[in-house]
Amino acid sequence: MPSPKQFVIFEAAARHGSFTLAAEELRMQQPSVSAAIKQIETHLSIVLFYRTHRKITLTPAGERLYAGISSGLSSMELAVSSVQNMARHDYVTLSTSSAFSHYWIMPRMHHLHQNHPDIDLRVQNSDREPELAIENISLGIRIGHGHWQGYECAKLADEILYPVASPRVMAAAPNVRSIPNLLSERLIHLEEPVRERPTWSDWFSHHKVKDKVLEGGLRLNDYALVLQATISGEGFAIGWDHIVSEMLDKQVLAARKDWSWHTGRGIYLVWPANGNLSDKAKRVREWMIGFAN
């Protein structure tokens, strides 16, 4: 491969259609630009420019090379601009799961825009729990007991789990008069690849239904997909109260809240303990805590 510097020189010459203008832009001597282009052509064993006394034009090979190099440089420029914006804290980032962003954040987003129109909140869905400070993320959502080294946190809700289904499926399952009978229904399982979440086996064990092999059912690796399948009538799923409560109010889902399991954990908003939160991030933090309370 020719050197990256030679590619930059080639791109400028092709864009301007002139070795002289490329030299002026790059603050080089015109013979140095010509020499760099000649080195690329020698290296690739192909002519990139038609040269006349007054102008240069790209050969078909030059046009192909220019298309690729200009696209690559544009991507680099966009990446640099994005990193600079991150460093300036022009926006607030929130790392969370797809289900939390879809069913908790989005229904409340209009309120944020009305009360804080100057804040650009960018939600980053992730199937893991990134190190916020290292990845320059302002805030995050985690489930646990409220103790994470290097972080401060505020509880948004208790973790409360109970069975949910579409109203049609719930009405069609009159034999679900006891928790053991639920084993005969089609269950939708959440199997996240990274984060550990309570399973149907955990829920049944809490209710003293143990040593049961839960075979079959629908198994999905994202809770937003689990809820979509539940709404579509595919069976019973575990409902996290802070996520499904609004859907229960709208009667999109039905629940057996009398079979709730209070796990003792909570849903927390977390942020790095280094005290470097921007003013906008602090306002988003207070906005989310205010909704939770």
Position with higher pLDDT, 106 vs 195: 106
pLDDT, position 87: 57
pLDDT, position 133: 81
Q: What is the DSSP string of 109-175?
A: HHHHHHH-TT--EEEEE-SS---TTTTT--EEEEEESS--TTEEEEEEEEEEEEEEE-HHHHHT-TT
b/e burial code for range 69-106 (CB count within 10 A of at least 16 → b): beeebeeeeeeeeeeeeeeebeebbbbbbbbbbbbbbe
Contact between 229 and 235 under an 8 Å Cβ cutoff? The reply is yes
pLDDT at 261 over 90: yes
Q: Where are the domains of the chain?
A: 4-88, 92-156+268-292, 159-266
pLDDT, position 33: 92
pLDDT (tens digit, 9 = 90+) per residue, 67-109? 988 888 888 887 777 666 655 557 899 999 999 999 999 999 9
| Gap between the Cα atoms of 4 and 196, Å rounded | 45
- Answer yes or no: CATH 1.20.140.10 is held by domain 4-88: no
| Gap between the Cα atoms of 268 and 153, Å rounded | 6
Which of the four CATH numbers 3.40.50.2300, 3.40.190.10, 3.40.50.720, 3.20.20.70 does domain 92-156+268-292 have? 3.40.190.10
Centroid of chain to Cα 128: 10
**What is the Cα Rg of the chain in Å?**
29
pLDDT (tens digit, 9 = 90+) per residue, 16-75? 999 999 999 999 999 999 999 999 999 999 999 998 877 889 999 999 999 988 888 888
pTM of the predicted model, to two decimals? 0.69
Q: What is the DSSP string of 38-78?
A: HHHHHHHTS--EEE-SS-EEE-HHHHHHHHHHHHHHHHHHH
Among 158, 194, 123, 128, residue whose Cα is nearest residue 267: 158
| Gap between the Cα atoms of 166 and 227, Å rounded | 10
Tokens 């059912």, located at residue: 217
Superfamily of domain 159-266: Periplasmic binding protein-like II (3.40.190.10)
pLDDT, position 102: 93
Question: Which of 126-135, 177-186, 226-235: highest mean pLDDT?
Answer: 226-235
Residue type, 272: P
pLDDT at 263 over 70: yes
DSSP 106: G
**The domains spanning 4-88 and 159-266 adopt the same CATH topology:** no
